[in-house]
Structure 1
């Protein structure tokens, strides 16, 4: 049976720089937002806090929902490897305590080789995935409004 994975990601901006996870695979270095898969029984925000502790060793303060993205692997250039992969990502604006600096946490991703602050205006010049999210992140950081209602009935 095929299933859809849900993940939550954090957009953390400080002094016009975006916090990114530096990754490396057979295609080279690339950057992604901190975060990852939601576990059964945890809210999106609980999952995002856990994932950030695991990857960047910091407690995040979760702000407004920025956007929701779907990734259906067979429709994209990684289809050879992601043919049966389908993920929905919920991306929140987040912050960290002033002066706090990220470092690798207790459970980094397999391909994670570092953590970097990337200049928001220069994002298009690095291999940031998904690339189509760059203008959305830049625009949403200026506008932002919270669309997440949480676990309600």
Structure 2
């Protein structure tokens, strides 16, 4: 089975919150980090920037790749990102137009790290990754 290549962005704001895409699909509630498929001829970093813009209307600078994960049917590249501009809302990509319905909806939301444990974040590895990156960020700020 060929794994589908995906790119995922991890974005924190100044309030120590992480950007998640809250989802409800066929009665199941869960959350993901913004991201999606890598198109032909596109690098994972380029796909990350495009997907974040399409999903949540934010322009980001893509930083280091922090994880590569084979998860179910996906080969996922996770990148730390930094906000450049934009106002967070459901973007103009398929999530906001084609896929939005009564049985399938998307809602971007900033989630505090304290509330992260209450969210059904998938894949499971994303929670630990987000926490670890936040801890690293705090450690760097404390050393400056």
Name the TM-score class by shorter chain: 0.7 to 0.9
Structure 2, unaligned stretches of length 5 or more?
138-144
* Residues in 1 aligned to 2:68 and 2:45: alpha-carbon distance in whole angstroms: 14
Task: Give the 3-state SS of the residue equivalent to 2:115 in structure 1.
Answer: helix
Question: Where in structure 2 are the equivalents of 1:33-72 lying within 5 Å?
Answer: 33-72=33-72
Structure 1, unaligned stretches of length 5 or more?
73-85, 145-153
Q: Is residue 89 of structure 2 the alignment partner of residue 89 of structure 1?
A: no
Task: Give the 3-state SS of the residue equivalent to 1:137 in structure 2.
Answer: helix
Report the equivalent of 2:88.
Answer: 102
Residues 71-122 of structure 1: CA deviation (Å, up to 9, x unaligned): 12xxxxxxxxxxxxx2111111111137x43111111432442110111122
* Residues in 2 aligned to 1:104 and 1:21: alpha-carbon distance in whole angstroms: 9
Aligned length: 129
| RMSD over equivalenced CA pairs, Å | 1.8
Contact kept, 8 Å, 1:21 with 1:112, in 2: the verdict is no
Question: Where in structure 2 are the equivalents of 1:2-151 lying within 5 Å?
Answer: 2-14=1-13, 15-72=15-72, 86-97=73-84, 100-109=86-95, 110=99, 111-143=104-136
Residues 8-31 of structure 1: CA deviation (Å, up to 9, x unaligned): 101101121010111111242211
Contact kept, 8 Å, 1:70 with 1:87, in 2: the verdict is yes
Contact kept, 8 Å, 2:38 with 2:47, in 1: the verdict is yes
* Residues in 2 aligned to 1:52 and 1:92: alpha-carbon distance in whole angstroms: 11
TM-score by length of 1: 0.76
Higher strand share: 2
4+ residue runs of structure 1 moved beyond 4 angstroms? Answer: none
Contact kept, 8 Å, 2:9 with 2:49, in 1: the verdict is no
* Residues in 1 aligned to 2:128 and 2:82: alpha-carbon distance in whole angstroms: 20
